[in-house]
A and B are shown apart, each in its own frame.
Chain A
Amino acid sequence: MHIADGILSAPVLAAGFGGTALLAAVTMRKMGHEEIPEVSVMSAVFFVVNLIHIPIGPTSIHFIMNGLVGVILGIRAFPAIMLGVILQALLFGFGGVTVIGVNCVMLGAGALGAYFIWQLRHRFPLGDRLEMIFGGLAGATGVFVSGLILAAALFSTGEEYIATAEYALAAHIPALIIEAIVVGACASFLKKTRPDLLAGQVLQKKME
């Protein structure tokens, strides 16, 4: 789910860089010492996981995992994803250099959306399966929000892409389901073993 060079128009590319700078400035404020290694490791996980292909029937998909990054890092997910996207573009030509801004906003906003959904779990105490359900929803949200932004970016380039943009949303449904399962499983596993790793746990304690 990376947009390549040469598709988007200059204003959209500029908006991407502007949005990235703004989001980075907001999400990196007051980052503590102990958060930097966490962000780096999740950034590395995101970087690698995007390159792994899972064959499914005749086709294959790759993980995006921005939902998982959101669930673990909260708003610090944005700098982690930004770093991952920049390195993917520079080292692998994944996306492209001019599109870094748009790709950062697309994948980073997915992570922030996932975190937002993840935080909603405090309002719906569903018992044992709470983390699994909201982890799953967060995983799906990560893909869905990014898919929406992808579609919007493609829409902006003109009519010939309208069909593509609609198709883009439909094509991400398998990824959405798989991410939901994986992130849900991760969240419920972490809740049992290392609940301190998940984002927003402190808030939960305060509310109790």
Chain B
Amino acid sequence: MKIVRMAAVGVAAALVLTACSSGDDGSATGGEETAEAAEITLWLNGADTPDELREYLTTTFEEENPGSTLVIEEQDWADVVTKLTTALPDAANTPDVVEIGNTQSPTFTTIGAFRDLTPLYEELGGDDLLPSFVEVGKAEGKNFALPYYFGSRYMFYRKDLWSAAGMEPPTTLAEFADAVTALRTDGQSGFAIGGQDWRNGISWVFANGGELATESGGEWTSTLSDPKTIEGLEQWQAVYQGASNVPATERDVAYWDFLNDGADGAAPAAATIMAPGWARWSIGDLTTNDEGEEVRDGMADTEKFGIFALPGADGGLAPVFAGGSNIAISATSEHPELSENLLRIIFSPEYQQMLGENGLGPGNSQYVDALGEDEFATTMIETAAASKLTPAAPGWAAVEAAFVYEELFQAIAEGGDVTELAAQYDERITPMLNGR
């Protein structure tokens, strides 16, 4: 497809149309050939955006831009940075519009890989757009990437076990710590969390008002030694050591397995876990679906399973790390106007609504109602509103790539002295954040 396009752009737009109509059904009947008509490419990551939404984008785009076509290509999350690194600077092969993981955004916004979207900011939603995501897509005060969708993480728990121990969902972080510590036995974690799992662990830092890093005058400083951050890290250390049986080296664990009953009705491996909302569909009792396959029932037994948002230090909600994506236009795109038209469709009320209906948190907070009204939807919206992202520093990708926080959290989980570790890692992280 790309080769066809590359060759054709140089020759004539008409050629593009004929070349592409074979691949795209139903779009080339009229064939109105205007000078600027072209084919643009949108890269979406993973299977998160459902087919229904993709079709909507293609058909709407083609209706609103007669003669032009939209090709959606699916990229894999694991490879997206590599592929963007090679393709974005290559004007002949660049995708026009790309989805990018929220914490990956700074890597590209800070080196001018994306087109400045500041002029469109108000039109596409302005201050209604999810602030933490807008922030992470900004560089030098300009908007380069805007929020596409968000997910959120909250606590899943075994209501039966909590009730049997006479406990209710906690209202403060300290209550949570006490409860899950009391629920731990040799065979069962009160709260299952791996030692290296800093993406869940940083909630304790945020809940105490701490930060991982701050910026001043363009210089980033790692702030692990800030008293509030240390307080949070020490609380997390106590929770891990008191409530979790998961090894200190684990991260990205499929925690949802822990909450299910073992084979032959054996007790579950954990009373509480922290996970993204979709974990729900991997939790519950075994049942048979329409196609006769064994599946989990999605926590149908509300006496047995439940959820709650991680409470803050003094009540309210603790800020959690929010997953999700931003969307941006390649700076080398040869069709910036068409690309902007596509963004207009993505940020239209109809499309934002559709995101919500499919369980994706819409980038524009006006439409979060579309997620629904059940407990899962409301908890997702609440936690997302209180969510926080990792620092938008140019060297953030380097910090993640070197697994620095994994190491730090493992050392803390193993009982290291938090103050000492914080000082040691501040020294290591600060230069990395600033790109060297």
Whether chain B is bound by chain A comes out as no
Which A residues lie at the B interface, using CB under 8 A?
none
